[in-house]
Structure 1
Amino acid sequence: MKKGQTYKGNPLKNESYYAFGQPVAAPLEGTVIKTVDGLKDNVPGELNPDHPEGNYVVIKHKNGEYSILAHFMKNSIKVREGEKVKTGQILGKCGNSGNSTEAHIHFQVSSSPDIMTGKSIRIQFENGKEPVRGEYTRK
């Protein structure tokens, strides 16, 4: 966000959103167990409820938790299923795919690789910060 806004210019163009196309990093080392890529980015304000996660990556961590990162830009995911990733490794680019109204990344830690059935686990960053639903965060 800049000056309380998530975009500058035409709100109907993804390119107007500050987050669109920005790199998305792995939150913690682990193994990529699922990726979906190739779904088109929405026109801002429109949704794709048939594919709620849009383009996404699921990472399994050593502690039995799963990171789920959703709404990547079409054809931007750079990792493959089975690949081991390091903390901070670039996974792809922020997009507006799936059940998303504007460019952003949905980040969830779960007890299961399935975003719909897993139990959400509270996120805690290295600096001790614990974000809550809907909060904007940055590195």
Structure 2
Amino acid sequence: MNPVVLDLPFRGRWRAEMSPARRVPSHGTEAYGSSHAIDFVAVDERGRSAPSSWRSVLATEPPEGFLGFGAEVLAPVAGTVVATHDGEPDHEGRRSPFALVPYALTQASRARSGHHALAGNHVVIEITGGRVVLLAHLRCGSLRVEPGRQVATGDVVGECGNSGNSTEPHVHLQVSDRSDWDRAKGVPLAFRLADGVRVPREREVVRGD
């Protein structure tokens, strides 16, 4: 299957995480059409998503302290917004292993709660062939679009947040064959990068214009 080619959904420096260039399914599951999903974390020139502190070693961190929190998220392709969800709270960031362990223990309960509990605040854009692009973990109250809205590539759809199943502010992006998440299958994707059309490698830093 040919990949759906997208623009990067942000400006500035972001690091690819959970990339399908490393493995498929990229997030360890094919559930909810996520087999080829990719995550992007905003980073500074030293590759940090937030300054280091005692909290980053021992505790949780306010999401506002992360570089990506509140950054504009852009439509990576033209299409029609077919679904949105807002109102999920933004969690504390969890870089510390002491904070990650109790969070991991609640992973199964979030999965049982369904797609909204995992994706958090999100926007779904339908493109050609009935396929859909999901942009997830957006900041509570930041959505700029509603169902039925036509968007062009580069339009602002919301802001990066830490809602849903997220340990630090980031953008989760996936292409699926439908928005019926219980039956959705993942679709391969690729991005227009400075050196060509491809999938960013795991932990590769890419720059959006």
Say yes or no: TM over 0.5.
Answer: yes
Larger strand share, 1 or 2? 2
Equivalent pairs: percent with the same residue?
Answer: 36
Larger helix share, 1 or 2? 2
Q: How does 1:39-50 map to 2 (within 5 A)?
A: 39-45=88-94, 46=103, 49=110, 50=113
- With the length of structure 1 as denominator, give the TM-score of the two structures: 0.88
Q: How does 1:16-55 map to 2 (within 5 A)?
A: 16-45=65-94, 46=103, 49=110, 50=113, 51-55=117-121
Name the structure 1 match of 2:148: 82
Distance apart, 1:113 and its partner CA: 1.4
Task: Tell me which of 171, 188, 207 is aligned to 1:122.
Answer: 188
If you compute each CA radius of gyration, which structure gives the higher value, 1 or 2?
2
Cα distance in 1 between the residues matched to 2:203 and 2:147:
28
| 47-56 or 26-35, larger mean C-alpha shift | 47-56
Checking the alignment, whether the CA contact within 8 Å between 1:9 and 1:16 is kept in structure 2 is no
- With the length of structure 2 as denominator, give the TM-score of the two structures: 0.60
Higher relative contact order (CA 8 A, sep 6+): 2
Instruction: Indicate whether 1:131 and 2:200 are aligned.
Output: yes
Distance apart, 1:136 and its partner CA: 5.6
Deviation per CA, 1:67-97, whole angstroms, max 9, x where unpaired?
Answer: 0010000000010011111100000100000
Cα distance in 2 between the residues matched to 1:61 and 1:122:
14
Cα distance in 2 between the residues matched to 1:8 and 1:79:
32
Go from structure 1 to structure 2 and tell me whether the alpha carbon gap of 1:39 and 1:14 turns closer, same or farther (over 3 Å shift).
Answer: same
Provide the aligned C-alpha RMSD in A: 2.1
Q: Secondary structure at the match of 2:118?
A: coil
Go from structure 1 to structure 2 and tell me whether the alpha carbon gap of 1:137 and 1:69 turns closer, same or farther (over 3 Å shift).
Answer: farther
Paired amino acid for 1:109: V
Go from structure 1 to structure 2 and tell me whether the alpha carbon gap of 1:27 and 1:76 turns closer, same or farther (over 3 Å shift).
Answer: same
Where structure 1 has 5 or more consecutive residues not aligned to the other structure, the ranges are none
Paired amino acid for 2:83: K
| 49-58 or 99-108, larger mean C-alpha shift | 49-58
Q: How many residues align?
A: 139
Go from structure 1 to structure 2 and tell me whether the alpha carbon gap of 1:56 and 1:137 turns closer, same or farther (over 3 Å shift).
Answer: farther
Go from structure 1 to structure 2 and tell me whether the alpha carbon gap of 1:87 and 1:120 turns closer, same or farther (over 3 Å shift).
Answer: same
Checking the alignment, whether the CA contact within 8 Å between 1:74 and 1:97 is kept in structure 2 is yes
Distance apart, 1:6 and its partner CA: 1.1
Distance apart, 1:118 and its partner CA: 1.6
